[in-house]
Chains A and B, each alone.
Chain A
Amino acid sequence: MDFNIVIAGEAGQGLKTVESLLTKTFSRHGYYLFSTKDYMSRIRGGHNFMQVRISDEKVEGPTEEIDLLLALNEESVEIHQNEMSERGVIITSLESDSDQVITIDAKSIAKEVNPRAVNTVFVGAAFKIMGLPTQEAKKALKEHFAKKESVIEDNLTLLDKGYEAVKEVFELEDLGAKEGRMIIDGNSAVGLGAALAGLSFYAAYPMSPSTGILTYLAGKQEELGIVVEQAEDEIAAINMAIGGTYSGMRSMTGTSGGGLALMAEGVGLAGITETPIVIADVQRPGPATGLPTRTGQGDLLFAVNIAQDEFPLMVIAPKDQEDAVYQTFRAFNLADKYQIPVIILSDQFLGDSSKTISEIDISGLEINRHLMDAVEVEGEYKRYKYTEDGISPRAYPGQLKDQVVLLDSDEHDEFAHIVEDGETRNKMVEKRARKMEKLKEEDLLEAEYSGPEDPDYIIVNWGSTAGPSNEARKILADEFKIGQLIFNDVWPLPEKMLKEKVEAGAELVFVENNSTAQFAKLIRSETGIKADYNILKYDGRPFSGLELARRFKEEVSK
């Protein structure tokens, strides 16, 4: 069972409310969901749509055909009518002869009660058409408007009126509430991972599509007693966050491509001052302003090479919403352990899409700050003490009695004092480099392989293309022997599993949301291993499993 609902209209028509009511309700009826957003960089007008895909099995990305279209304006019918499935139904206020169309005069219905709640009439109609009762939807509605109680009554009335105005078409079942599941979008997932990791200070400048992290954390700041500061620009944001870590708090910043470019010098500062910092880059197509509300994976090589000269740095790409929680949590522990910047590479597709995932299990999560013990100091504190693994005991100002803590962005000696001699410079470069070696040995996550033991092809993913690729693999399972290799850690590059699989003789198919196969390039430059096929997409839209399956077939039969 796979049912795809599209809610379409212009900005300002309350699409988000409809989507939120549908996802919450279906979730409680026991369905797996995947919901994506396609919106324009504007506040009113234009054409926006959201896709809510529901199934009794796990769903990992968008699909193509529409089973139910909620067309909140007339233009939406025109735009989407060719995407309708054979059984598909359009709910619209337009009159039509087509038996695919169910006309509802939502505006007039709403006018009698509350003209601003036209969208709720559509929700009511949708549940009737799908053959589901409205109790759960009403509960979700009350929760949605909990802070705006005065409108609840009107909306409940309009939900009923919409429900009564149409006839049942589909027979979706109530599968019953399921324990152990949750639904979350990728931006909230990054924020949740950070909050669970004990984040105390988040500084950022609003930028689509990363603003969701900022909003999530800001919404929690009072309850958690933490501080979320909107910085004057991204340069200030990263310098504030680095200052946050220096002063003894777990700190983070988040942005998208252009903002990351402004942060570049700050990432280098974290590198040379050995200050732990977590940076979320929710990618959008660029360069410069690019496509602000769309998706892409074009920042990989930039992130890996973000600042001048060489310093240890880690780049992690969460593969889905669940992984985003755990990987962000992990990023804080690793940043603290190795005293390095860690970049989380998300993207608009991951950040703005919601997915049903297994409930987050905190039993394996432990916050480890790796701060030095106050009793460790002998003599004057050396912030950059030479050690075998390159990691110097880290303290924050005021932590150690009668000791000061000094950091420097200039090359420095063990006490952090500025030096220019070549010998100390070499020792410091090598000290920092040793941390990366230790990280590779102790903490690097090998790529995760799934699929047959002797695949002919291996789809290689990093980040959010993993879900749609997995769906494509299932679609193609009868025709091809395909495995899948998903990289979480992309820098430093884990090589063992990749080499093992290549030696076994499978051909590599890279799936990336960019135009030059950046990950394939990175792998080739690090290992000499070449891609056999690249499936690339850079129009700002995510892959669907169906699309990937088609393109896979085209590619390998060339």
Chain B
Amino acid sequence: MTELKTYEADRETAWCPGCGNFPLRTALAEALSEMDLKPEEVTMYTGIGQAAKMPHYIKVNGFNGLHGRSLPPAVAMKVANPEMTVIVESGDGCSYGEGGNHILHNIRRNLDIVHLVHDNQIYGLTKGQASPTSGPEIKTGVQTHGVNAEPFNPVRFAVGMKASFVARSTVGDRDHLKKMIKAAKAHKGYALIDIFQPCVSFNKINTYQWYNKHVYKLEDHDPSDYEAAVKVADEFGEKIPIGIIYQAGKPSFRDRIPYLKDKALVDRRPKVEELEFLIEEFK
């Protein structure tokens, strides 16, 4: 086990007191520690938003890139270094709004990565506008009469795409969240965890109390049963299930590139002389 303090998950942050990001960070640090991963063995890719600041507040390799673009740079790491543990982490706006196209195609690629989405159903850093997952009843300075679109159900979407691992959890139950993170890491392929967390500053509807009231832990659910998973994923109202909703063994991105095998391209250091043969076909 790697000592918890190695991850320095007690660093000062720019988050609001009581923010759901804090328990999420704790759960992540504990999971990493219990899985005995050293900070240099983990790379975290984030976009922009309060959640996306995570690599500054926990010690791992970090790529804090552009809004919505946390997934694409992570693709390359799995080509370069299959041993690296890759975590993609961002908020609901970054992951499902600005970066919507990338989640679609990376479910298809099925890279061996853990995708943690901090889903607080609101835009926090821009001070409280609707996010793709905001409920229709929410009114904001922009959505003055409520949201003009139906809420996006990421779990239903990912199950519909037959993503190889789809789970939902909540920061209100840290042990559950930690269990989900460990299961996602153990899964070989793309693993999405949509994580409920309150935004104490801007979302007055989806509070800790609201989540506690609505979520229930899945029991006797077989995640390998697609039909059952679709049914469970459709539940989003009075009762919202948490747990592993769907899981399937599938070829990963690297499995589809047979000549790569377990080669790490980061170690590829050719000399020009070794590549000179490329000129031949143009003679």
Contact = CB atoms under 8 A, between A and B. Distances in A.
Interface of A: 181-184, 188, 192, 195-196, 198, 200-201, 203, 220-222, 224-227, 229, 231-233, 235-237, 239-244, 246-249, 251, 265-266, 269, 273, 359-360, 362, 365-367, 369, 396-398, 400-410, 416-418
- Which 5 residue pairs across A and B have the least CB separation, nearest first? A243-B73, A247-B80, A239-B72, A244-B76, A397-B61
B76 A247 contact: yes
Nearest to B65: A409
Contacts of A224: 275
A365 B272 contact: yes
Interface stretch (B98-106, B140-148, B229-237): B98-106
B100 to A, nearest CB: 10
11 contacts: A181-B283, A232-B104, A236-B102, A239-B65, A242-B65, A243-B45, A249-B268, A397-B61, A406-B55, A406-B56, A406-B61
B282 A182 contact: yes
B84 A182 contact: no
Contact of B77 (A226, A232, A237, A397): A397
For the residues of B in contact with A, the DSSP-based class is helix
A229 B74 CA distance: 13
B278 interface: yes
A410 B279 CA distance: 43
A359 B76 contact: no
Interface stretch (B89-97, B197-205, B257-265): B257-265
B40 A192 contact: no
For the residues of A in contact with B, the DSSP-based class is mixed
Contacts of B39: 404
Contacts, number: 183
B191 interface: no
A240 B269 contact: no
A457 B38 CA distance: 66
Contact of A269 (B45, B53, B66, B266): B66
Interface of B: 14, 38-41, 43, 45, 48, 53, 55-56, 59-66, 69, 71-77, 79-81, 83-84, 101-102, 104-105, 257, 259-260, 263, 265-266, 268-273, 275-276, 278-279, 282-283
Nearest to B253: A229
Contacts of B272: 196, 198, 362, 365-367
B260 A266 contact: no
A222 B268 contact: no
**Which of B69, B73, B74 has the most CB atoms of chain A within a 10 A radius of its CB?**
B73
Given A236-B105, A404-B60, A406-B61, A246 B278 contact: no
A192 B278 contact: yes
Given A232-B104, A244-B79, A418-B53, 8 more contacts: A196-B278, A198-B270, A233-B101, A398-B81, A402-B38, A404-B39, A406-B62, A417-B56
A404 B265 contact: no
A192 B64 contact: no
A195 B48 contact: no
Given A200-B265, A362-B272, A365-B272, A247 B81 contact: yes
